[in-house]
Amino acid sequence: MNYLTNKQGFLGIDNKFNFKEKVIVIPFGLEKTVSYGGGTKNGPKEIIKASHQVELYDEELKCEPFKKIGIKTLKPFKINKNINKAINQIANINKEILDSKLFPITLGGEHSITPGCIKPFVKRYKKITLLHFDAHADLRESYAGEKFSHASAIKRCIDYKNVSVISFGIRNISAEEISVLNKNKKRISIYWAKDKKKWDFKKFKRLIKNKNVYITFDVDGLDSSIMPATGTPEPGGIFWDEALEIIKIASKNSKIVGADVNELAPIKGFNSYNFLVAKLVYKILSYKFLLK
Protein backbone atom coordinates (compact mmCIF):
# COMPACT_ATOMS: atom_id res chain seq x y z
CA MET A 1 0.00 0.00 0.00
CA ASN A 2 1.16 3.53 -0.77
CA TYR A 3 0.85 6.05 2.05
CA LEU A 4 0.95 9.80 2.30
CA THR A 5 3.69 11.20 4.51
CA ASN A 6 2.63 11.87 8.10
CA LYS A 7 2.58 15.59 7.32
CA GLN A 8 0.31 15.14 4.29
CA GLY A 9 -1.96 12.55 5.89
CA PHE A 10 -4.77 12.67 8.43
CA LEU A 11 -3.93 15.05 11.33
CA GLY A 12 -0.80 16.38 9.57
CA ILE A 13 1.59 14.84 12.10
CA ASP A 14 5.26 15.86 12.03
CA ASN A 15 7.23 13.62 9.64
CA LYS A 16 9.88 13.16 12.35
CA PHE A 17 7.36 11.30 14.51
CA ASN A 18 7.64 7.52 14.10
CA PHE A 19 5.01 5.03 15.20
CA LYS A 20 3.77 1.58 14.35
CA GLU A 21 0.37 2.16 12.80
CA LYS A 22 -2.84 0.56 14.08
CA VAL A 23 -5.18 2.58 11.84
CA ILE A 24 -5.36 3.09 8.09
CA VAL A 25 -7.38 6.06 6.80
CA ILE A 26 -8.78 5.41 3.32
CA PRO A 27 -9.87 8.42 1.23
CA PHE A 28 -12.61 7.08 -1.05
CA GLY A 29 -14.55 9.91 -2.67
CA LEU A 30 -17.06 7.81 -4.58
CA GLU A 31 -19.85 9.96 -6.03
CA LYS A 32 -22.14 8.09 -8.40
CA THR A 33 -25.73 8.15 -7.09
CA VAL A 34 -26.22 11.51 -5.34
CA SER A 35 -29.85 12.54 -5.69
CA TYR A 36 -29.97 16.15 -4.46
CA GLY A 37 -26.84 18.14 -3.65
CA GLY A 38 -23.46 16.94 -4.94
CA GLY A 39 -19.82 17.31 -3.95
CA THR A 40 -19.16 14.22 -1.84
CA LYS A 41 -16.21 13.30 -4.08
CA ASN A 42 -14.37 16.22 -2.44
CA GLY A 43 -15.18 15.09 1.10
CA PRO A 44 -12.04 13.02 1.85
CA LYS A 45 -9.63 15.68 0.58
CA GLU A 46 -11.27 18.40 2.69
CA ILE A 47 -11.52 16.22 5.79
CA ILE A 48 -7.80 15.49 5.63
CA LYS A 49 -7.00 19.16 4.98
CA ALA A 50 -9.15 20.27 7.93
CA SER A 51 -7.66 17.59 10.18
CA HIS A 52 -4.34 19.48 10.07
CA GLN A 53 -6.07 22.13 12.22
CA VAL A 54 -7.38 19.66 14.83
CA GLU A 55 -5.54 19.95 18.15
CA LEU A 56 -3.74 16.67 18.80
CA TYR A 57 -4.23 16.86 22.59
CA ASP A 58 -7.62 15.62 23.83
CA GLU A 59 -8.66 17.40 27.03
CA GLU A 60 -11.24 14.70 27.81
CA LEU A 61 -8.79 11.80 27.48
CA LYS A 62 -5.86 13.84 28.88
CA CYS A 63 -3.36 12.76 26.25
CA GLU A 64 -2.43 13.02 22.58
CA PRO A 65 -4.32 9.95 21.31
CA PHE A 66 -2.48 9.73 17.98
CA LYS A 67 0.70 8.71 19.84
CA LYS A 68 -1.07 5.71 21.34
CA ILE A 69 -2.89 4.79 18.12
CA GLY A 70 -0.61 5.25 15.12
CA ILE A 71 -2.43 6.49 12.02
CA LYS A 72 -1.39 6.17 8.37
CA THR A 73 -3.30 7.60 5.39
CA LEU A 74 -3.47 5.93 2.00
CA LYS A 75 -2.40 8.02 -0.96
CA PRO A 76 -5.43 9.05 -3.06
CA PHE A 77 -5.96 6.58 -5.89
CA LYS A 78 -8.25 6.21 -8.89
CA ILE A 79 -11.74 5.00 -8.01
CA ASN A 80 -13.40 2.70 -10.52
CA LYS A 81 -16.06 4.51 -12.57
CA ASN A 82 -18.45 1.53 -12.40
CA ILE A 83 -20.25 1.59 -9.04
CA ASN A 84 -20.30 -2.21 -8.62
CA LYS A 85 -16.57 -2.39 -9.33
CA ALA A 86 -15.92 0.58 -7.02
CA ILE A 87 -17.76 -1.15 -4.17
CA ASN A 88 -15.65 -4.28 -4.73
CA GLN A 89 -12.57 -2.07 -4.86
CA ILE A 90 -13.12 -0.72 -1.33
CA ALA A 91 -14.00 -4.23 -0.15
CA ASN A 92 -10.63 -5.51 -1.37
CA ILE A 93 -8.77 -2.60 0.24
CA ASN A 94 -10.45 -3.24 3.59
CA LYS A 95 -9.71 -6.96 3.30
CA GLU A 96 -6.01 -6.24 2.81
CA ILE A 97 -6.02 -3.90 5.83
CA LEU A 98 -7.83 -6.46 8.01
CA ASP A 99 -5.45 -9.21 6.87
CA SER A 100 -2.64 -6.99 8.17
CA LYS A 101 -4.45 -6.80 11.54
CA LEU A 102 -5.05 -3.07 11.18
CA PHE A 103 -8.18 -0.94 11.70
CA PRO A 104 -9.69 0.63 8.53
CA ILE A 105 -11.64 3.88 8.58
CA THR A 106 -12.95 5.08 5.21
CA LEU A 107 -13.65 8.71 4.38
CA GLY A 108 -16.44 9.01 1.79
CA GLY A 109 -17.78 9.82 -0.68
CA GLU A 110 -21.40 8.84 -0.65
CA HIS A 111 -23.04 6.28 1.63
CA SER A 112 -23.14 3.64 -1.11
CA ILE A 113 -19.56 2.76 -0.06
CA THR A 114 -20.71 1.00 3.13
CA PRO A 115 -21.87 -2.37 1.70
CA GLY A 116 -18.41 -2.66 0.13
CA CYS A 117 -16.63 -1.50 3.27
CA ILE A 118 -18.28 -4.17 5.42
CA LYS A 119 -17.89 -7.07 2.98
CA PRO A 120 -14.64 -8.41 4.49
CA PHE A 121 -16.01 -7.94 8.03
CA VAL A 122 -19.08 -10.00 7.16
CA LYS A 123 -16.83 -12.83 6.04
CA ARG A 124 -14.54 -12.54 9.06
CA TYR A 125 -17.11 -12.38 11.87
CA LYS A 126 -19.98 -14.73 12.64
CA LYS A 127 -22.16 -11.71 13.44
CA ILE A 128 -21.64 -8.01 12.87
CA THR A 129 -23.68 -5.06 14.17
CA LEU A 130 -23.81 -1.80 12.21
CA LEU A 131 -23.98 1.29 14.40
CA HIS A 132 -25.62 3.57 11.86
CA PHE A 133 -25.89 7.38 12.18
CA ASP A 134 -28.14 8.92 9.55
CA ALA A 135 -31.14 11.13 8.82
CA HIS A 136 -32.42 8.45 6.45
CA ALA A 137 -33.04 4.74 6.92
CA ASP A 138 -31.42 3.88 3.54
CA LEU A 139 -33.58 0.75 3.32
CA ARG A 140 -34.91 1.18 -0.24
CA GLU A 141 -34.45 -1.81 -2.52
CA SER A 142 -33.26 0.63 -5.18
CA TYR A 143 -33.49 4.32 -6.00
CA ALA A 144 -33.71 5.88 -9.47
CA GLY A 145 -33.11 2.40 -10.86
CA GLU A 146 -29.84 1.85 -8.95
CA LYS A 147 -29.61 -1.08 -6.54
CA PHE A 148 -26.38 0.29 -5.05
CA SER A 149 -27.72 3.82 -4.50
CA HIS A 150 -26.79 5.77 -1.40
CA ALA A 151 -30.51 5.47 -0.53
CA SER A 152 -30.14 1.67 -0.47
CA ALA A 153 -26.89 1.43 1.52
CA ILE A 154 -28.30 -0.23 4.63
CA LYS A 155 -30.63 -2.49 2.63
CA ARG A 156 -27.57 -3.80 0.78
CA CYS A 157 -25.87 -4.35 4.14
CA ILE A 158 -28.75 -6.44 5.55
CA ASP A 159 -28.66 -8.57 2.41
CA TYR A 160 -25.91 -10.25 4.44
CA LYS A 161 -27.77 -12.53 6.86
CA ASN A 162 -25.30 -12.05 9.72
CA VAL A 163 -25.67 -8.25 9.80
CA SER A 164 -27.91 -6.41 12.28
CA VAL A 165 -28.39 -2.64 12.46
CA ILE A 166 -28.84 -0.04 15.20
CA SER A 167 -29.72 3.31 13.63
CA PHE A 168 -29.60 6.70 15.37
CA GLY A 169 -31.15 9.94 14.19
CA ILE A 170 -33.55 8.68 11.50
CA ARG A 171 -36.14 11.31 10.59
CA ASN A 172 -36.91 10.77 6.91
CA ILE A 173 -38.28 7.43 5.74
CA SER A 174 -40.50 6.16 2.90
CA ALA A 175 -43.49 3.79 3.06
CA GLU A 176 -41.39 1.20 1.20
CA GLU A 177 -38.74 1.35 3.90
CA ILE A 178 -41.31 1.02 6.69
CA SER A 179 -42.33 -2.27 5.10
CA VAL A 180 -38.70 -3.47 5.09
CA LEU A 181 -38.33 -2.34 8.70
CA ASN A 182 -41.47 -4.23 9.80
CA LYS A 183 -40.20 -7.41 8.14
CA ASN A 184 -36.82 -7.12 9.89
CA LYS A 185 -37.73 -6.03 13.42
CA LYS A 186 -35.36 -8.57 14.96
CA ARG A 187 -32.42 -7.24 12.94
CA ILE A 188 -33.04 -3.48 12.81
CA SER A 189 -33.43 -1.18 15.84
CA ILE A 190 -34.13 2.49 15.18
CA TYR A 191 -33.61 5.32 17.64
CA TRP A 192 -35.83 7.91 15.94
CA ALA A 193 -34.69 11.52 16.07
CA LYS A 194 -38.17 12.61 17.20
CA ASP A 195 -37.72 10.49 20.36
CA LYS A 196 -34.30 11.86 21.35
CA LYS A 197 -35.44 12.86 24.83
CA LYS A 198 -36.63 9.29 25.46
CA TRP A 199 -33.72 7.32 24.02
CA ASP A 200 -33.04 4.29 26.23
CA PHE A 201 -29.26 4.00 26.45
CA LYS A 202 -29.48 1.07 28.86
CA LYS A 203 -31.21 -0.89 26.11
CA PHE A 204 -28.58 0.32 23.63
CA LYS A 205 -25.84 -1.02 25.92
CA ARG A 206 -27.57 -4.39 26.04
CA LEU A 207 -27.94 -4.48 22.25
CA ILE A 208 -24.22 -3.96 21.65
CA LYS A 209 -22.74 -5.68 24.73
CA ASN A 210 -19.65 -7.64 23.63
CA LYS A 211 -20.72 -7.45 19.96
CA ASN A 212 -18.49 -6.79 16.95
CA VAL A 213 -19.60 -3.30 15.86
CA TYR A 214 -18.90 -1.44 12.64
CA ILE A 215 -19.67 2.32 12.68
CA THR A 216 -21.15 3.93 9.57
CA PHE A 217 -21.65 7.66 10.09
CA ASP A 218 -23.57 9.58 7.43
CA VAL A 219 -22.98 13.20 8.44
CA ASP A 220 -26.57 14.14 7.53
CA GLY A 221 -27.44 12.30 10.75
CA LEU A 222 -26.26 15.49 12.43
CA ASP A 223 -28.72 18.36 12.68
CA SER A 224 -28.62 20.58 9.60
CA SER A 225 -27.88 23.63 11.79
CA ILE A 226 -24.41 22.21 12.49
CA MET A 227 -24.03 20.14 9.29
CA PRO A 228 -25.56 21.76 6.19
CA ALA A 229 -22.58 20.57 4.09
CA THR A 230 -24.21 17.39 2.88
CA GLY A 231 -26.37 16.44 -0.09
CA THR A 232 -29.59 15.85 1.86
CA PRO A 233 -29.55 17.99 5.05
CA GLU A 234 -32.39 17.44 7.53
CA PRO A 235 -33.52 19.46 10.58
CA GLY A 236 -34.22 17.76 13.88
CA GLY A 237 -31.04 15.69 14.04
CA ILE A 238 -28.22 14.70 16.35
CA PHE A 239 -25.94 17.29 17.95
CA TRP A 240 -22.20 16.99 18.64
CA ASP A 241 -22.37 15.93 22.30
CA GLU A 242 -25.15 13.44 21.58
CA ALA A 243 -23.13 11.77 18.82
CA LEU A 244 -20.07 11.50 21.06
CA GLU A 245 -22.11 9.99 23.89
CA ILE A 246 -23.40 7.21 21.61
CA ILE A 247 -19.91 6.46 20.25
CA LYS A 248 -18.51 6.49 23.78
CA ILE A 249 -21.09 3.93 24.94
CA ALA A 250 -20.26 1.73 21.96
CA SER A 251 -16.53 2.00 22.65
CA LYS A 252 -16.95 0.95 26.27
CA ASN A 253 -19.39 -1.90 25.70
CA SER A 254 -18.52 -3.47 22.33
CA LYS A 255 -15.61 -4.22 20.04
CA ILE A 256 -15.50 -1.59 17.30
CA VAL A 257 -13.87 -3.29 14.32
CA GLY A 258 -14.04 -0.65 11.57
CA ALA A 259 -15.75 2.53 10.45
CA ASP A 260 -16.69 4.84 7.62
CA VAL A 261 -17.70 8.51 7.71
CA ASN A 262 -19.50 9.66 4.59
CA GLU A 263 -21.67 12.22 2.74
CA LEU A 264 -19.69 15.39 3.51
CA ALA A 265 -20.24 17.73 0.55
CA PRO A 266 -17.87 20.63 1.32
CA ILE A 267 -19.13 24.19 0.88
CA LYS A 268 -16.43 26.59 -0.33
CA GLY A 269 -15.50 29.10 2.37
CA PHE A 270 -17.24 27.20 5.20
CA ASN A 271 -14.38 25.18 6.65
CA SER A 272 -16.08 24.64 10.02
CA TYR A 273 -18.13 21.76 8.57
CA ASN A 274 -15.03 20.00 7.23
CA PHE A 275 -13.34 20.58 10.57
CA LEU A 276 -16.29 19.08 12.47
CA VAL A 277 -16.01 15.86 10.44
CA ALA A 278 -12.23 15.72 10.87
CA LYS A 279 -12.60 16.07 14.63
CA LEU A 280 -15.37 13.46 14.63
CA VAL A 281 -13.05 10.96 12.90
CA TYR A 282 -10.31 11.65 15.48
CA LYS A 283 -12.84 11.19 18.30
CA ILE A 284 -14.07 7.87 16.89
CA LEU A 285 -10.49 6.58 16.76
CA SER A 286 -9.58 8.00 20.18
CA TYR A 287 -12.60 6.43 21.89
CA LYS A 288 -12.09 3.12 20.07
CA PHE A 289 -8.48 2.71 21.19
CA LEU A 290 -8.39 4.52 24.53
CA LEU A 291 -11.74 3.95 26.25
CA LYS A 292 -12.20 0.76 28.24
Q: Spell out the domain ranges in the chain.
A: 23-290
Whether domain 23-290 has CATH 3.30.565.10: the reply is no
The residue-averaged pLDDT of 155-161 equals 97
pLDDT of residue 146: 75
Is there a contact between 153 and 197 (Cβ–Cβ < 8 Å)?
no
- Which string of b and e fits 67-90 if b means at least 16 CB within 10 Å? eebbbbbbeeeebeeebeebbebb
pLDDT of residue 16: 82
pLDDT of residue 35: 56
Is there a contact between 109 and 40 (Cβ–Cβ < 8 Å)?
yes
Residue 129 reports pLDDT greater than 60: yes
The residue-averaged pLDDT of 5-33 equals 91
The residue-averaged pLDDT of 23-45 equals 85
Is there a contact between 109 and 41 (Cβ–Cβ < 8 Å)?
yes
Distance of CA 51 to the CA centre of its chain: 16
What proportion of the chain, given as a percentage, has pLDDT over 70?
98
pTM (2 decimals)? 0.96
Residue 241 reports pLDDT greater than 90: yes
